[in-house]
Structure 1
Amino acid sequence: VARKLRFLRRRSLEFNAEMNASMNETLNVSGALLVKLFGREKREMAKFADDASRVRDIGVQSAVVSQWFFLSLGIVSAIGTAVVYWGGGHLVLTGVFTIGTIVAFGAYLTQLYGPLISLTNAPVEFAQSMVSFERVFEALDIPTEIKESPDATSLPVAFGNITFDHVSFSYQEEYGDQQWGLTEVTRLGWGADRTTLLKRGKKSNGNGESDVMDLVQEQATDQRWALQDVNFTIEPGELVALVGPSGAGKTTITYLIPRLYDPTGGHVLLDGHDIRSLTLQSLSNNIGMVTQDTYLFYDTIRNNLLYAREDASDAEMVSAAKAANIHDFIAELTDGYDTVVGERGYRLSGGERQRIAIARVILKDPQILVLDEATSHLDSLSEALIQDALQRVMQGRTSLVIAHRLSTILAADKILVMDKGRLVESGTHVTLLANGGLYASLYETQFRNETDVERMKEVEEI
């Protein structure tokens, strides 16, 4: 019974986790919008009904097994009591026992059944509880990828010199006989066999899903290197632009600088220190980053800005908002800085979220700025405002920008051109165009149209 209930308990937790994951995906702002845009309401309702029915069925099955177990214990105690009185009555009639002796036996037997039932039930409850502990320990046993060295050095104020020394990186780095990164998670239960589970614990459904996963893993093995032998140096105060086709490794470079990942090979140096020898807090204090996906908490604009520096004054917060050219917009809102932005900031436009994110990093006042496609979601007017603000903010700071706009590239002191994880070109706009390499090709296909549009605007203004 304990084994059966343990199995049912484990399946119940898995089904509940799967149902909650479906709810989180489809009922958040982005998921609900996607469902409506593609008209998949009935499909999602049927999917949720299926998940909920499995949770219900496994709950009913667990309850039935438990009740049968307790029913069996009750029947045993009832039969025992009946046997005592039936046999005792016969012995009383034959004069062997007195009535008082039989009544005493019945009382003793009742007192004995309580502890016996409790002792019998303890292993069952323990087995079910162990399933919860297994899932907790699964999370606790996940190895920490980024560890701070016990003798790590604190860097109060960085000068901003960044060096990539033969850096290679793979999202599928192997640790012993296991793989971590963009691979399927291997879950290990106590006493369970090693099993690779698909998304949300679903195994192969017989429709070729496992074959698809094998194909994806084979392709991932062929493309395992996100960066290969990358070498460059950014001097303090320089503005460096990262360009290249999609999947070239630009974002990976920006993730290695604040040590969101450790390089598989080579070294990332900050002011001559390997970043693995520095404390994580000092890295965080010296590096400010605006990521591809601007994330705002379901909170007020004020609290989202103060997340960068909780001790910042209102004057400093307003100054940062003005530098990002978002203060005027906030001032026009009914609640001003106390306006709630909604889940992930959905009540704001993409450009407004972007400018709030930039104001947040300005308020942090780091020595190093990393802007990962920070201007890619802005209209022309917003981009002009942001470019003007960033030119002031970047003065005296080391800045690395993933650039998709020609104006950002032309303002850079140095351009790094990435392709398939390798640094293929480095230099200024003029020199790279003269070389006729990948940058010149990207300029012709991606940036030349931008130049033509700017010229047309100038003609119209004249």
Structure 2
Amino acid sequence: MFSRFEKLVDPFTLDNLEQPPQGFWAFCWHYTRPVAPFLCIVSIMSAAVAVIEVMMYGFVGDLVNWFATSDRATFFDDHTDDLIWMGILVLVIMPVLEFAWQFLFHQTIIGNYPMSIRWRVHRYLLRQSMTFYQDEFAGRVAQKLMQTALAVREVITRLADVLVFISVYFISALVLIGQTHWQMAMPLALWIVGYIGVMVFFVPRLRDISKTQANARSDMMGKVVDAYSNISVVKLFSHASREDNYAKASMMGFMKAVYRQMRLVTLLEIALKTINQLLLVATVAVSIYYWHLGLATGGDIAIATGLVLRLRGMSQWILWEVSGVFENVGTVQDGISTISQPQVVLDKPDAVPLVVSSGKIEFDKVSFDYGKDEPVVDALDLTINPGEKIGLVGRSGAGKSTLINLLLRFYDLNSGAIKVDGQRVSDVQQDSLRAQIGVVTQDTALLHRTVLENIVYGREGASLEEAKEAARKAQALDFIEGLTDSNGNSGMDAQVGERGVKLSGGQRQRIAIARVLLKNAPILVMDEATSALDSEVEAAIQDSLNVLMEGKTVLAIAHRLSTIASMDRLIVMDAGRIVEMGSHEELLTNGGLYASLWQRQSGGFIA
């Protein structure tokens, strides 16, 4: 039974990855559509339950009147049908509605609804541009993903509950009391006006402070996670106290929002208690007055007083439900500002997979500036022939790594074109482009998973033996077999920690090289690929790198010029332009920038 209701909604559908709307209601509807039919059914059931509850108060009033006026001898003859009908309503119809409501709401909606949102938002964010993640804390993005999903659910489900159940309940109560004498319904009508006034005054203020609080919470989370993610830097510089103060500032900002919220809550409670007490006194007074005039019966008084007592008990819940809606509205609005940002680098609608036949790369008058005034790459022309090994040389900031990022299409060009085997990288599918390029960087990032999972990340479906062979070629198998983690896993099954923190820099880089060896892409990019290795290990894996480079088009960046001196051609860059080009010997003979860098090396690195 539970499983059937849980499977009515699949939260992991592969929908189109379109940009979420930036309007509040459009955003909510975008993520509500999978569960919308079930929300409608739940709302109809809530309305039916509200009507039945009010009818029960009418029945109690009728009972009081019957007891006062009916003859005991003929009581059941006169009212058997009414009693049977109310019994069916209470014992059959209402339980069926309640049970169905519980299953639909808790099994179908409560879990699947936010998970569907998280899944769809996560898939969209994974395809966001590099600039998006450069401008955001990873922890802040994750926090907004989690809290926005829950907030959307709370806004929609609470609104459905409040608008349907409460409106039906209030209207039914007014009609039922007004059926005796409309004057007896006046206190309730005035109370509803006052109640709405309280909500109009307080709820928008709670919404605004909630948005501020949600943003402060995300900021606090991002700063805390930033310290945890870079714990080695914190400890190396003995800055735990500094991080205390850094986090404390964001925590104090969050607490200011909390204090403001609690002040509003206190005033809200006082206003609510006041109008509730006035409602009770006014209703009882009017009822007694009309009974004294002989215009109201005991049953009428029972109906009016019972409903008022019920409404007094419900009023706080209602107001908190409405307040909860608007508090979550603020959270959703804060999430929209992050989640609904457009993806800057997009595949064209008619983009096709990249087909690499030989590996020729062309940079045709390429210019790029990261949105700044000065170009980082300036009208650069370069052709790399199939299978050619190119070394990129230059001072820091010359544009070498930017050139690699543009080839991978992490950014779109300002002007010019980059082609692989005659195909513009802007015209092909990004995933297919990057699938054809193996990359080993200086800042090696490993996933917080096992060694095996990190290596086979290079090629989906690779076997354990293939992963071990790649690790052996990368001179990594020996240290991998000696690894253990806190859960007792060892070797290939050992966890490497967040970003590979449990491994040394050289170990991380060798696993990264194993990953690229396994990928075996036709184009290879090495950005300081051996910088974290000691000379002995670098010499040991150089043969494997030479094997890896065979038959591939290679672009290698290195500050240790000796590692790329044997490349087919060296490209010397300065200020985003190519200033020299040739073999190692030719460039030394020319006596230009390359020769100057070579002469000024200290221990094999550019000084």
Q: TM-score, normalised by structure 1?
A: 0.79
Aligned to 2:244: 45
Alignment of 1:169-248 (within 5 A): 169-172=368-371, 221-223=372-374, 225-248=375-398
CA shift for structure 1 position 37 = 2.8
- Read off the aligned partner of 1:235 and give its amino acid letter: N
Aligned to 1:217: none
Aligned to 2:591: 436
Confirm or deny that 1:144 pairs with 2:144. no
Aligned to 1:383: 538
Structure 1 pair 311–100 and aligned structure 2 pair: CA distance change class (3 A): closer
Match of 1:12, SS? Answer: helix
CA shift for structure 1 position 392 = 1.4
Alignment partner of 2:412 out of 231, 253, 262: 262
CA shift for structure 1 position 110 = 4.2
Aligned to 1:406: 561
Q: Distance in 1 between matches of 2:314 and 2:604?
A: 83
Alignment partner of 1:251 out of 396, 401, 410: 401
Unaligned runs of 5+ in 1: 173-220, 452-462
Match of 2:226, SS? Answer: helix
Confirm or deny that 1:419 pairs with 2:419. no
Aligned to 2:206: 5
Identical positions, percent: 38
Q: Distance in 1 between matches of 2:261 and 2:533?
A: 54
- Read off the aligned partner of 2:452 and give its amino acid letter: R
Aligned to 1:55: 254
Alignment of 1:150-169 (within 5 A): 150-169=349-368
Contact 2:217 2:254 in 1 (8 A): yes
CA shift for structure 1 position 250 = 0.5
Contact 2:439 2:516 in 1 (8 A): yes
- Read off the aligned partner of 2:519 and give its amino acid letter: K
Contact 2:212 2:330 in 1 (8 A): no
Match of 1:446, SS? Answer: coil
- Read off the aligned partner of 2:441 and give its amino acid letter: T
Q: Describe the superposition over 1:146-171 as per-residue Cα deviations: whole angstroms up to 9, x where unpaired.
A: 21122222234441100000000121
Q: Number of aligned pairs?
A: 399
Contact 1:414 1:428 in 2 (8 A): yes
Contact 2:570 2:582 in 1 (8 A): yes
Q: Distance in 1 between matches of 2:321 and 2:482?
A: 64
CA shift for structure 1 position 415 = 0.5
Confirm or deny that 1:346 pairs with 2:547. no
Q: Distance in 2 between matches of 1:330 and 1:101?
A: 83
Confirm or deny that 1:65 pairs with 2:264. yes
Q: Describe the superposition over 1:99-139 as per-residue Cα deviations: whole angstroms up to 9, x where unpaired.
A: 66544443354466678777766654443222222123223
Q: Distance in 2 between matches of 1:345 and 1:112?
A: 58
Alignment of 1:349-368 (within 5 A): 349-368=504-523
CA shift for structure 1 position 315 = 2.4
- Read off the aligned partner of 2:236 and give its amino acid letter: L
Q: Distance in 2 between matches of 1:387 and 1:5?
A: 63
Contact 1:295 1:344 in 2 (8 A): yes
Alignment partner of 2:280 out of 78, 81, 84: 81
Match of 1:242, SS? Answer: strand
Structure 1 pair 325–88 and aligned structure 2 pair: CA distance change class (3 A): closer
Confirm or deny that 1:16 pairs with 2:217. yes
- Read off the aligned partner of 2:426 and give its amino acid letter: R
Confirm or deny that 1:322 pairs with 2:469. no
> If you compute each CA radius of gyration, which structure gives the higher value, 1 or 2?
2
- Read off the aligned partner of 1:379 and give its amino acid letter: D
- Read off the aligned partner of 1:383 and give its amino acid letter: E
Contact 1:226 1:248 in 2 (8 A): yes
CA shift for structure 1 position 390 = 0.9
Q: Which moved more, 1:391-400 or 1:106-115?
A: 106-115
Structure 1 vs Structure 2 CA RMSD: 2.6
Contact 2:215 2:334 in 1 (8 A): no
CA shift for structure 1 position 26 = 1.4
Q: Distance in 2 between matches of 1:47 and 1:280?
A: 38
Contact 1:333 1:339 in 2 (8 A): yes
Aligned to 1:397: 552
Alignment partner of 1:273 out of 412, 423, 432: 423
Structure 1 pair 97–374 and aligned structure 2 pair: CA distance change class (3 A): same
Contact 2:566 2:584 in 1 (8 A): no
Match of 2:251, SS? Answer: helix
Q: Distance in 1 between matches of 2:474 and 2:536?
A: 13
Alignment partner of 1:297 out of 447, 452, 462: 447
Unaligned runs of 5+ in 2: 1-201, 485-489
Higher helix share: 2
Contact 2:359 2:421 in 1 (8 A): yes
Q: Distance in 1 between matches of 2:336 and 2:369?
A: 27
Q: Distance in 1 between matches of 2:357 and 2:259?
A: 61
Q: Distance in 2 between matches of 1:149 and 1:19?
A: 38
Contact 1:166 1:229 in 2 (8 A): yes
Q: Describe the superposition over 1:202-233 as per-residue Cα deviations: whole angstroms up to 9, x where unpaired.
A: xxxxxxxxxxxxxxxxxxx444x111011111
- Read off the aligned partner of 1:149 and give its amino acid letter: K
Contact 1:244 1:250 in 2 (8 A): yes
Q: Distance in 1 between matches of 2:247 and 2:335?
A: 26
Structure 1 pair 119–299 and aligned structure 2 pair: CA distance change class (3 A): closer
Q: Distance in 1 between matches of 2:312 and 2:503?
A: 66
Q: Distance in 2 between matches of 1:51 and 1:414?
A: 52
Contact 1:158 1:286 in 2 (8 A): no
Q: TM-score, normalised by structure 2?
A: 0.61
- Read off the aligned partner of 1:170 and give its amino acid letter: D
CA shift for structure 1 position 262 = 1.7
Higher strand share: 1
- Read off the aligned partner of 1:368 and give its amino acid letter: I
Match of 2:268, SS? Answer: helix
Structure 1 pair 27–272 and aligned structure 2 pair: CA distance change class (3 A): same
Q: Distance in 1 between matches of 2:497 and 2:295?
A: 83
